[in-house]
Structure 1
Amino acid sequence: MIALVTDSTCDLHPDAARDLGLHVVPLGVLLGGQTLLDWQEIDPEAVYDHQRQGGAVST
């Protein structure tokens, strides 16, 4: 059996990844002193909002 695995920086919506049979490992996003799991605990829009308000984001 072969499995295709990527991390969440591939920027595929979880539904699309599931439809394609991809296994996505969530990347940890450091935002405001908290580490949040990409697409599980935070979505791209929340990251962009944080950056627009002058906040730092890292992985």
Structure 2
Amino acid sequence: MYDSSTQHWEQLMNWQHTTMYLFFAIAGAISLTVHSTDIAPLALDRMLLGLAFFNE
């Protein structure tokens, strides 16, 4: 991510979008789990979606 010899960030936009997609994928997987089973409380769905938007 960071090239210390040139002191520049490498492909920063790619890393930003990868992180954003990862958090939305986790939120989607948890949303499916919460709504299809009774393993976790419903508030977990909204909390992880809020975390994904915060990370964006």
TM-score by length of 2: 0.29
Larger radius of gyration: 2
Would you tell me which structure has more helix in proportion to its own residues?
A: 2
Would you tell me which structure has more strand in proportion to its own residues?
A: 1
TM-score by length of 1: 0.28
